[in-house]
């Protein structure tokens, strides 16, 4: 793990991703029951995967592995964003809720990129 970080709970983007996943759970709790094993399950898994991959990467022994898991986290984030957009199109998610969740996702994505760049710079030293 990187210098100065005692554990994944110290990683700000992990905390943001946890809050975001909680927001996704709240938003999906009002969707149609027939989506429980479809879109709801899929988007919740993707949302949880964002924070989970950050945690798993931070627990790895090398910076390179951490960076790889940050990339997987961004992939899960993009997957969940796509599903949020679909949910909005289907009328499951009000535009205001979609906007808030998508805005938070963009912030998390930027933070993941910034952390990856920072780790890469430390790796070169």
- CATH 2.160.10.10 for the 9-124 domain, yes or no: no
pLDDT recorded at residue 4? 46
Gap between the Cα atoms of 112 and 118, Å rounded: 10
Dihedral of the alpha carbons of 14, 16, 104, 59, in degrees to the nearest 10: 0
The residue ranges of every structural domain in the chain are 9-124
The percent of residues in the chain predicted with pLDDT above 90, rounded, is 89
pLDDT of residue 6: 66
Task: Determine the average pLDDT of the residues in 31-43.
Answer: 96
What mean pLDDT comes out for the span 14-39? Answer: 97
Closest to 108 (Cα-Cα) out of 12, 8, 13, 9: 13
Is the pLDDT at 110 greater than 70? The verdict is: yes
Query: Mean pLDDT in the chain?
Result: 94
Closest alpha carbon to 50 in 20, 10, 23 = 20
Place 47 in a pLDDT band, splitting at 50, 70 and 90: very high
Q: Please check the confidence at residue 20 and state whether its pLDDT lies above 80.
A: yes
Give the model confidence (pLDDT) of 52-96 as tens digits: 999 999 999 899 999 999 999 999 999 999 999 999 999 999 999
Whole-model pTM: value is 0.91
C-alpha to C-alpha distance for 59 and 51, rounded to whole angstroms: 13
């Amino acid at each position: 793990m990187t210098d100065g970080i005692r554990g994944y709970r110290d990683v700000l983007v992990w905390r943001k991703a946890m809050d975001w996943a909680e927001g996704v759970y709240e938003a999906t709790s009002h969707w149609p029951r027939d989506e429980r094993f479809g879109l709801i399950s899929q988007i919740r898994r993707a949302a949880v995967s964002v924070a989970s991959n950050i945690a798993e990467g931070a627990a790895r022994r090398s910076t390179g592995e951490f960076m790889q898991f940050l990339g997987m986290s961004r992939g899960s984030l993009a997957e969940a964003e796509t599903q949020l957009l679909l949910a909005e199109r289907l009328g499951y998610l009000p535009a205001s809720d979609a906007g808030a969740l998508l805005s938070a996702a963009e912030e998390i994505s930027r933070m993941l990129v910034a952390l990856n760049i920072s780790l890469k710079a430390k790796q070169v030293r």
